[in-house]
Amino acid sequence: MALQSVGVIGAGAWGTALAVIARRAGRDVLVWAREPETVAAINDAHRNDVFLPDIALDPAIEATSRLNEAATCDMLLMVTPAQHVGAIGAELAPICGRPAAGHLLQGHRAGDGRLLSQVAGDLMPAADIAVLSGPSFAADVASGLPAAVTLATGEEDLGRALSHALSHSPFRCYWSGDVIGAEIGGAVKNVYAIAAGIVVGKELGASAHAGLVTRGFAEMARFGVALGGRLRHHDRLSGLGDLVLTCGSPQSRNMSLGVALGQGQSAAEALSGRLTVTEGVTTASAMVEIASARRIELPIAEAVHAVISGLTTVDEAIEALLARPLRPEM
């Protein structure tokens, strides 16, 4: 399977980082961006000063504002915010042939609760859809620091081909057949990162943080299995690994939002002026909607959604969680 050319759809921090990764793996890389100034910066200055200002880009990485040019690549990595995947997928559908993979920024589509792989698959039925997820910050991998992620697709041969096409020292892709589990893990960890940030912002201590992350992991697994994921997948890179990273560093935009909430800011205040999308906000809403319809118990996710939506205060949410009945851990 020839996977030499890579089209990166989106030039945010992760799109830029994936362009760097693909180029280091020896691929020909073309980045699509809507903004002419971003295209010019990548082509002329070999930088993306808005999202990854400290990273010098390989001059061989090219950019375009013409989506049809990127659509001809052997592999497409979709790295647009979750809310825009439907619109971008609709634009791609009539012009792309059979791209080998869609890299989907993990999250649930607000409104109907579908996974992004399902959204993309419905729009581009001829495409082979894969999901890339795991514990990795864009700045880290673009800087060449070691990272390991999950690349999930239903076809083993495709998964192995994609993994080899992007892997290089020190970036490693491990193939998985559990697409649903990988995508859910990559999505819902953002919600628990907001909760972990609130714990840090309220200065509730390391013990409370560890307890929150552990119970969040239990909720993640329960939610994933209910939606068709495999239980064993959640203790791997795109489950536990991603959760530990995102809940453990203010470098995570979701955790930093939680810290601001814990320190007394409103959701509107904490979100104002941010250049990047904080995916956990919309994911929390989708999780609560799905959980209600399927009767899945997600007290932490529900608390995060209530705080973000202004339905309760941080202090009230914490008090309600601590007052829940004691039950067996398993």
The total of other beta-carbon atoms located within 10 Å of residue 313's CB is: 14
What contacts 233, CB < 8 A, 6 or more positions away? 176, 178, 181, 182, 185, 224, 239
Q: Which of 189, 202, 234, 253 is catalytic?
A: 189
Residue entry with tokens 């904490």? 270
The residue assigned the tokens 């999780």 is 287
Nearest C-alpha neighbor of 79 from the set 134, 11, 179: 11
Strands 131-133 vs 147-152: parallel, antiparallel or unpaired: antiparallel
Q: What residues contact residue 76 under an 8 Å CB cut-off, 6+ apart?
A: 6, 7, 8, 9, 70, 92, 96, 99, 100, 101, 102, 103, 127
Q: Which amino acid is at 53?
A: P
Which pair of structure tokens corresponds to residue 83? 């809310």
Annotate 269-308 with b (16+ C-beta within 10 A) or e (fewer): ebbeeeeebbbbbbbbbbbbbbbeeeebebebbbbbbbbb
In the annotation, is 202 catalytic?
no
Active site residues: 189
